[in-house]
Amino acid sequence: MIRTVFVWIVFIGLLMVWFPILALIRLFDRDSVHYRSGRFYRSMAKPLVKLIPIWRLIFTGEKNLPLRRPYVVVSNHQSLLDIPIIAYMGMEMKWVAKKELFSVPLLGWMMSLADDIKLDRSQARSGVQAMIKARKCLQADYPVIFFPEGTRSRDGLVHAFSNGPFHLAIKEGALILPLAIEGANECIPKHSWRFGPPRDVHIHVFPPLPTAGYTLKQAGELQERVRRMIVERIAVWRQATPETVDGLTKPKQAAATENERVPSNR
């Protein structure tokens, strides 16, 4: 409990310091996608990670990070901590996030000032508008990041990806930059506000993947290729087989187990 209280005090304190400065920067930020505003907002991740000793970040593949290029970045999603952990790497990009976050005092206001992309998952029209804004970012040589699982994983497995980010990348001829994260879910699980003990969190940046040669009908193939890369990387970290990490194999495994329990009529 003491650890949790300390973390939230530090987080809220940083928000209170960063918010007025960000508001001032945004006032004079004339960039079409407000690069300086977003970069300053994301810089809060540095002191946040340094001041909170609940994670030990282990990065690999950082050389694959660009400064400002039209990349579609995709990552698995384990925890709320994925956001500051990815931001800590220093690559400025627009985040596609659910609209509820934009209503959170200070945090949501800062996301709006940073010009992040709002998504209302209950409205199909909102998804179209989010993709239009993401296209404009790519056309301005600005990376956009998606969590294609749509929500945080409850069990630490990698679940189904949506095809939306991959359609976007193919349509715009943008590179796909996959990220894999492992360990963040044990720092703060989904639907919990309590932080666990310090642990290692691994982040790997894969080499960017070209989308040239893919058609929109092949977006599913590209999506599965990227998803498989992430699953296999996490399996290596866990010293496990990819099947134990892949959330799409879980129903099959459960069914097989259930069949073993049911006595045969033969």
SS (H, E, C) 114-163: CCCEEECCCCHHHHHHHHHHHHHHHHCCCCEEECCCCCCCCCCCECCCCC
Nearest to 37 by CA among 29, 49, 45: 29
Q: Are 188 and 80 in contact (CB under 8 A)?
A: yes
Q: Count structural domains, the chain.
A: 1
- pLDDT tens-place string over residues 150-175: 888 888 899 999 999 999 999 999 99
Q: Is residue 69 part of a domain?
A: yes
Q: Is residue 2 part of a domain?
A: no
Note the pLDDT of residue 202. Answer: 94
Q: Tell the burial category of 244 from Cβ atoms under 10 Å away from its Cβ (0-12, 13-18, 19+).
A: middle
Chain center to CA of 23: 25
Q: Tell the burial category of 258 from Cβ atoms under 10 Å away from its Cβ (0-12, 13-18, 19+).
A: exposed
Note the pLDDT of residue 192. Answer: 66
Q: Is residue 6 part of a domain?
A: no
Q: Is residue 106 part of a domain?
A: yes
Q: Which residues of the chain have pLDDT under 70?
A: 54, 189-192, 250-266
Q: Is residue 234 part of a domain?
A: yes
Q: What range does the domain containing 244 cover? A: 13-250
Cα angle for residues 206, 212, 214 (degrees, 5° grid): 95
Q: Tell the burial category of 248 from Cβ atoms under 10 Å away from its Cβ (0-12, 13-18, 19+).
A: middle
35-57 as b/e: b if 16+ CB within 10 A: bbbbbbbbbbbeebbeebebbee
* 199: CATH: 3.40.1130.10
Note the pLDDT of residue 113. Answer: 96
Alpha-carbon distance of 223 to 192, in angstroms, equals 30
- pLDDT tens-place string over residues 66-88: 777 899 999 999 988 888 899 99
State the sign of the Cα–Cα–Cα–Cα dihedral 226, 228, 232, 237: positive
Q: Is residue 5 part of a domain?
A: no
Q: At what angle are helices 2-27 and 35-42 packed, to 10 degrees?
A: 160
Note the pLDDT of residue 122. Answer: 78
Q: Are 143 and 69 in contact (CB under 8 A)?
A: yes
Q: Is residue 125 part of a domain?
A: yes
Alpha-carbon distance of 170 to 251, in angstroms, equals 31
State the sign of the Cα–Cα–Cα–Cα dihedral 34, 103, 203, 148: negative
